[in-house]
Amino acid sequence: MKRVYLEETSSTNDVIKEYLSGGENVVVCAERQTGGRGTKGRTFSSEKGGVYLSALTFYKDLPAERAFEVMAHAATAVCKTLSSFGISPEIKWSNDVLAGGRKISGILTENLLAGGYVTASVVGVGLNVSNPLKGLENIAVSMEELLPSLPTVEKVREKLIKELFSPTDFSDYLRFVKFLGKPVLVTEGERQYTAVAREILPDGRLSVEENGKLRALSAAEIAIKW
């Protein structure tokens, strides 16, 4: 596996795509991003003090219908990393990792498909370690706020890379999903409603119960009602 370390870049996801033709797994890390991105085109605060990396992985036999496993694996890797340092994380469907009800990590996944298979994936991860979160204190949290003794960014990064390239399965992912059976606020387009989260299906859809009827969500956002 090739590793690339940068002091600053616009986005590690953009840089890593330069290696798509090489056929080799690659990790690109940056101390700071000037144009970090989240899902749906949102920006991701990426000041120095956090872990910012993208992992390029190639696959030989991953069917497209199992593409959700790529994101699930990345979220599990982040949670295992945080757990190893004494933090109790949880996954909010579909790709945010929370600690104490606030976001501590974001994941952006881009899959390349051909012939009904996922041939490669680019997984970008931002993990708050000691980076400033000015203006985001109510919705985001860093490891520094949660730990009496803070590990170095380098130590957290190395642990995360190890977990990203270690095997996991769907049961590992579900172990960190703690909102099932609880009410959530669902946003679908302009419609908002409260439902009970019932199950995350193997294809990544979230099954919710609204007024006694089950629905499987694929393109929606949820807010956990604490």
CA dist 159 and 152 (Å) reads 11
pLDDT value of residue 42: 58
pLDDT value of residue 225: 77
Structure tokens of 210? Answer: 């609204």
User: What are the distances in angstroms from CA 87 to CA 45, 142, 157, 185?
Assistant: 21, 11, 15, 26
pLDDT value of residue 46: 82
Provide the residue ranges of all domains of the chain, joining segments of one domain with +: 2-175, 183-224
CA dist 71 and 180 (Å) reads 19
CA dist 135 and 56 (Å) reads 32
pLDDT value of residue 39: 56
pLDDT value of residue 135: 87
Residue pointed to by tokens 């190639």:
58
- Examine the pLDDT at 23 and tell me if it is beyond 80: yes
* Domain 183-224, CATH: 2.30.30
pLDDT tens profile 114-139: 999 999 999 999 999 999 998 888 99
Q: Which fold has domain 2-175?
A: BirA Bifunctional Protein; domain 2 (3.30.930)
- Least Cα distance to 109 among 159, 73, 141, 157 occurs for 73
pLDDT tens profile 53-91: 999 999 999 999 999 999 999 999 999 999 999 999 999
Write the CB contacts of 7 (distance below 8 Å, at least 6 apart in sequence): 30, 31, 32
Q: Three-state DSSP class for 88?
A: coil
Task: Please confirm whether the linkage preceding 121 is cis (ω < 30° from 0).
Answer: no
- Examine the pLDDT at 40 and tell me if it is beyond 80: no
CA dist 164 and 166 (Å) reads 6
Pairing of strands 102-114, 117-127: antiparallel
pLDDT tens profile 101-112: 999 999 999 999
Q: Which amino acid is at 113?
A: L
Give the side-chain half-sphere CA count within 13 A for 209: 9
- 213: β partners: 210
Put simply, whether the predicted model's pTM sits higher than 0.85 gets the answer: yes
Sign of CA dihedral 167, 170, 171, 176: positive
Average pLDDT over residues 172-193: 95
